[in-house]
Amino acid sequence: MTDADWNRRDFFRRTAIFGAAALAGPALLAACSKVNNGGDTLSQAQKSGTIKIGIAGEQPYGYTDKTGKVTGEAPEVARAIFKKLGVNNVQAQQTSFDGLIQGLNAGQYDMVAAGMDITAKRCQSATFSVPDYTALVAFLVPKGNPQGVVDFDTAKAKGVKLAVESGAIESDYATQSGVPASQLTSFESPDELLSAVTTGRAYAAILTDISFKTLVKQNPTAAVEVAPGFMPTINGKKQGETGGFVFRKNETDLVGKFNDQLTAMHKSGEWAQIVAPFGFTSSNIPAADVTTASLCAAG
């Protein structure tokens, strides 16, 4: 049901089917999902040679390219790690970013590989890997940035409308920085954020600098630019965006062995080589004192 080579039309058709199942109630959803509650996902994947991941279609983190291949920073790192663990086939299912953990816990896939920030709220519902990367927050603004919006303070002072991705952490960063909720409008994807800015529905959009640099490169005629990236100050502390892979709560063996491989790849330089095509460098490797435990306990 979730081969990596399905296309955009397949995605919308399957999304519609799943939405109908959701409206039909929990019983039907349970019948459509097979959740592995035994915590032996890795051993099952090693036997079958296949594991399923969830992505959100966000470049450069996890998306389907023009050839139909699922790629991006997170899927490519996941492929390399699972190959080391004896699993050569990584299949993917795409859903909205704010539905990824729900789909994971419903058994639609075995892991989320979508560049998801590690937050205390999300840690209540799932288990995160060791930190995979750290990125800066940035604003996508009109060419020339006439309002001079470069951070949350200037956005609040100017009273401009801001576009945020539904379910993403930037919305929390904005409100925690004092930006009124009335200034924020949620959209489902980075492409919609770009559209909001270019059509004037929002003055600026908020996401990681890596995401927006990729988006601008792919849309060279769009009259937008990326303001300098920054680390917002939340509760007196500088906050980078630290992302990781996401697993169900009971997957102790899978998480432990995945973490061992990811940590080794960070240290060896293999990680930096894999992610370079997606705009990441060794500077995006999280510092040693940035841990999943501390991020899950924050806030």
pTM recorded for the entire structure: 0.78
Model confidence pLDDT, tens digit, residues 209-228: 999 999 999 999 999 999 99
What gap in Å lies between CA 271 and CA 281, rounded to an integer? 9
**Amino acid sitting at position 131:** P
**How many other CB atoms are there within 10 angstroms of residue 69's CB atom?**
13
Model confidence pLDDT, tens digit, residues 101-119: 999 999 999 999 999 999 9
Question: CB of 17 within 8 A of CB of 6?
Answer: no
The span from the first CA to the last CA of the chain, in angstroms, equals 38
What is the per-residue pLDDT for 22?
36
Question: CB of 107 within 8 A of CB of 249?
Answer: no
Question: What is the DSSP pairing of strand 111-117 with strand 50-55?
Answer: parallel
pLDDT by residue for the chain (299 residues), tens digit each?
334 333 333 333 334 333 433 333 433 333 333 455 556 999 999 999 999 999 999 999 999 999 999 999 999 999 999 999 999 999 999 999 999 999 999 999 999 999 999 999 999 999 999 999 999 999 999 999 999 999 999 999 999 999 999 988 999 999 999 999 999 999 999 999 999 999 999 999 999 999 999 999 999 999 999 999 999 988 888 888 999 999 999 999 999 999 999 999 999 999 999 999 999 999 999 999 999 999 999 85
Residue 190: cis peptide before it, omega within 30 degrees of 0: no
